[in-house]
């Protein structure tokens, strides 16, 4: 009655795969209807590229330890090594 048979095992595996694929399909369907699908992902990627374009490399001041832009003339301290 509770023994394992090949038929029961195959049926269980098929049922699990069908349920799993059904949840994946419903998830994709809800992503497309709610978020716009690929259009939303493309917009996120382009905004990430725009944010990355605004990034500026900074260098650490040896005196005070703060980070300043490399083209700055002074951080405001008298003993600043960036004073121009």
- pLDDT at residue 15 tops 60: yes
Integer Cα distance of 45 and 50 in angstroms: 9
- pLDDT at residue 6 tops 70: yes
CB 33 within 8 A of CB 26: no
- The whole-chain average pLDDT of the chain stands at 77
- Tens digits of residue pLDDT in 56-74: 788 887 777 778 777 776 6
Whole-prediction pTM value?
A: 0.38
């Amino acid at each position: 009655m509770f023994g394992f048979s090949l038929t029961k095992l195959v049926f269980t595996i098929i049922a699990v795969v069908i349920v799993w694929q059904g949840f994946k399909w419903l998830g994709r369907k809800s992503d497309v209807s709610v978020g716009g699908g690929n259009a939303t992902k493309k917009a996120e990627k382009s905004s990430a590229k725009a944010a990355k374009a605004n990034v500026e490399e900074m260098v650490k001041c040896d005196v005070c330890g703060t980070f300043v832009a490399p083209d700055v003339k002074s951080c405001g301290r008298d003993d600043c090594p960036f004073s121009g």
